[in-house]
Structure 1
Amino acid sequence: MSRARCERCLRPEDHCLCALIPRLDSRTRVLILQHPSEVRHALNTARLAALGLNNAQLLVGEVFEDLGQWLDVPGYRPRLLFPGEGATALSASGVEQEPTLLVVPDGTWRKARKLLHLNPLLAALPRVSLQDAPSSRYRLRKAPGPDALSTLEAIVHALETLEPSGSFEALLRPFDALIEGQIAAMGPQTFKRNHS
């Protein structure tokens, strides 16, 4: 029999994170495009970001037929958060500039690239990348490189870059609790053997 789940955070009810999830305002609008394989992932950090930000939207799919309507938000300039050729370093947007609509693909690197391939509108967006990203707090996943962050961590770092006068650190509270809970469940020996 499966355990009862919280309808909001999708965690088992006895491990619900809702009390730790903030409701933060941001000038930046965040649009997360989540690959379907991530929805039931135990560490669904994109969902935590969408729940914690008032100005965020989470869409799930591979092909987004109506992507144009989500990108054409009056008063915002869309930017794709994705490193690589042609990406410019993300920097603070001045008050005189239109705020950013930050489009964030969520999935493994391979699946995120597939989202770009299947959605030409997405691939055509101006790309931005993170600079001076902190080390990941995601101690349970083997990262492809030292600058690899979870979707939630990337969003927090991007928002703190775009809006340096604000703090988005509170978004990481449920993430940290989630990581600690997973480590506790596997036991310190297993964690040390597999993740140290």
Structure 2
Amino acid sequence: MEEKPDENHRRQICNSCDRPNPICLCHVIPTDPIPTNTEIIILHHPHESRHKLNTTPLLTKSLRNVTTIPTRRLRRRHISSAGEPSASSSPPTIYLFPSSPSSPAVTISEFKSLNLVNHREISHSSPLRLIVFDATWKHAKEMVKASEEVLREAGAVRVCLDTGIDASVSGGTIYDSELVLRKEPFGGCVTTAEAVARCLGAIEPDGEEIERKLISVLKEMVRLQSKFLKPMKPRPKLLKKGLQKPLEQEE
């Protein structure tokens, strides 16, 4: 007869931050969620929500004005309400995603200096809506493409971080940076928590302080998590079958 596992040996979860006790973050998560002028909407891909190292929960517990929506695409109902019948009466909207040849983006610094969204001038303290896509790089691109019509109707401006992304450079790992939790696909890719922190740092009146607090939570999450993760050796890239023979003949 098999013995039932001892309940005392089961992993205990913190009731406040919903993380296992050994990597609890209650000591760094703000006691009172940080208020922002910016309304933050995070579109949370269903697959990403099941990932243990997802950083969106850090934002929902640290910020007051943030909404997480489990979905694969932005829909009109996600950004409209009875009090906002049209795009002209809704808050100026930006969405955070890297630039592409077909859809160029302005950097956060450029956006801050222009102070213009939807042809309306905004001040540093004006309400703003920030849309973020939380998913793997592949899924995020699919989500943005599926959301383009609604984003266009909302007059949303595409913005990106000043650092940019370099697809020719492999991304970092948890052992290369105090902010990177897992292997990133390209150089310049960051977690959702860091992306939002950097963005708020530029557009909020108290942006530097907000950014500092969010980054400190992320740093602590990485520090604690790194104790339980084993380094992964890079897998060798395999050539396609059609390319293997010519290489062998050259040898």
TM-score range, shorter chain: 0.7 to 0.9
Q: TM-score, normalised by structure 2?
A: 0.64
**Structure 1 residue 181 and structure 2 residue 224: aligned?**
yes
Residue 197 of structure 2 corresponds to residue 156 of structure 1? yes
- Report matched runs for 1:66-105 at 5 Å: 66-69=77-80, 76-84=91-99, 85-90=103-108, 91-92=111-112, 93=115, 95=123, 98-105=126-133
In the other structure, the counterpart of 1:172 is 215
User: Which runs of 5 or more residues in structure 1 are unaligned?
Assistant: none
Instruction: Count how many residue pairs are aligned between Structure 1 and Structure 2.
Output: 189
CA distance in 1, matches of 2:48, 2:40: 18
Please say if 1:131 is aligned against 2:162.
yes
Percent sequence identity over aligned pairs: 28
The answer to which of 113-122 and 171-180 deviates more is 113-122
Asked if residue 59 in structure 1 is aligned to residue 69 in structure 2, the reply is yes
Q: 1:8 to 1:62 in 2, by over 3 A?
A: farther
**Structure 2: distance between partners of 1:120 and 1:163:** 26
Distance in structure 2 (CA, Å) of the matches to 1:97 and 1:176: 28
Cα separation, partners in 2 of 1:132 and 1:121, compared to 1, 3 Å: same
User: Counterpart of 1:17?
Assistant: 25
In 2, Cα distance between the equivalents of 1:96 and 1:158?
13
Q: CA RMSD in A?
A: 2.9
- d(CA) in 1 for partners of 2:90, 2:73: 25
> Relative contact order, CA 8 A, sep 6+: which one is greater?
1
Residues 41 and 98 of structure 1: CA distance in aligned 2, closer, same or farther (over 3 Å): same
Distance 2:199 2:17 in 1: 23
Structure 1 residue 75: deviation in Å? 5.7
Separation in 2, partners of 1:118, 1:5 = 36
Rg larger in 1 or in 2? 2
